[in-house]
């Protein structure tokens, strides 16, 4: 079975500082990895994805994420945080291995608060 | 395209009543997902379809829940009878292929009193 862990329920960072939101995953086959953001009373919005290729992927709003196969991690990063980045962030995985169900599984979410 | 469209946006119903949530996926997408979001349990996958066929419904909590996809442009999630613990935000999402991201609707906030 596939799973995603976001070890931090809450991350606080000062505006202008770099931010990291952590994600680790477990799959039996090749992972396809995603980050989503949710603003209050809204649906989830896609930020970026890793399918194959370069381990550092860039996405919307200046966010990027680094795929680390040996550590089974896919941490979300941004060099300089904005107050408007404050939201709930979800990591997700799809196991693309043979015989897997291939559903999209989400982590528990991390609330990011950027302090002015 | 207008994106994934869910209706209603808000639903308040009395315990025991039937509730039907509706979803229109993005045209051309062949995967459709139903999720439930609560503070306690986070985002849970209830069921997903591929080409209108249910692939995995292991997340459906009880027999009171059922989902259908009669055609490529419409899906329903029904709760009968509804209970207060069903109160949550229900999201529908669709994707074009297994390899691509899923796009989410705005959700239906269900309150069962």
Q: pLDDT means per 10 residues in chain A (116 residues)? A: 92 97 91 93 92 91 95 97 96 76 84 96
Q: Do B104 and A101 touch (CB under 8 A)?
A: no
> To 5 degrees, how large is the angle CA B13–CA B41–CA A11?
125
- Give the pLDDT score at B24: 98
- Give the pLDDT score at B8: 97
Closest CA to B35 of A81, A2, A44, A46: A44
Distance from C-alpha of A41 to C-alpha of B39, rounded to nearest angstrom: 13
- Give the pLDDT score at A102: 65
**Which of A7, A38, A92, A103 would you mutate first to test chain B, the one with the most B CBs within 10 A?**
A103
pLDDT in tens, B41-70: 889 999 999 999 999 898 998 899 999 999
- Give the pLDDT score at A42: 86
Which residues in chain A have their CB less than 8 angstroms from residue B56's CB? Answer: 101, 103
Distance from C-alpha of A51 to C-alpha of B100, rounded to nearest angstrom: 9
pLDDT at residue B99 tops 70 = no
Which residues in chain A have their CB less than 8 angstroms from residue B33's CB? Answer: 103-104
- Give the pLDDT score at A96: 67
Which residues in chain B have their CB less than 8 angstroms from residue A108's CB? Answer: 42-43
């Amino acid at each position: 079975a596939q799973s995603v862990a976001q070890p931090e329920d809450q991350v606080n960072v000062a505006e202008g500082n770099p931010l990291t939101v952590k994600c680790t995953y477990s799959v039996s086959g090749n992972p396809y990895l995603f980050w989503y953001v949710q603003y209050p009373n809204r649906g989830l919005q896609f930020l970026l994805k890793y399918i194959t290729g370069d381990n550092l992927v860039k996405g919307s709003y200046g966010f990027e994420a680094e795929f680390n196969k040996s550590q089974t991690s896919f941490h979300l990063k941004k060099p300089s945080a904005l107050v408007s980045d404050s939201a709930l962030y979800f990591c997700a995985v799809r196991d693309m291995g043979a015989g897997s169900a291939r559903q999209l599984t989400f982590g528990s979410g991390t609330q990011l608060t950027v302090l002015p | 395209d207008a994106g994934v469209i869910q209706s209603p946006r808000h639903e308040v119903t009395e315990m025991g009543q039937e509730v039907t949530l509706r979803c229109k996926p993005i045209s051309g997408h062949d995967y459709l997902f139903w999720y439930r979001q609560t503070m306690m349990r986070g985002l849970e996958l209830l069921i997903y379809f591929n080409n209108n066929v249910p692939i995995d419904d292991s997340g459906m909590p009880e027999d009171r829940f059922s989902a259908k996809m009669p055609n490529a442009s419409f899906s329903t999630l029904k709760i009968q009878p509804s209970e207060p613990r069903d109160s949550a935000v229900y999201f529908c999402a669709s994707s074009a292929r297994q390899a691509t991201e899923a796009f989410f609707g705005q959700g239906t906030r269900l309150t069962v009193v």
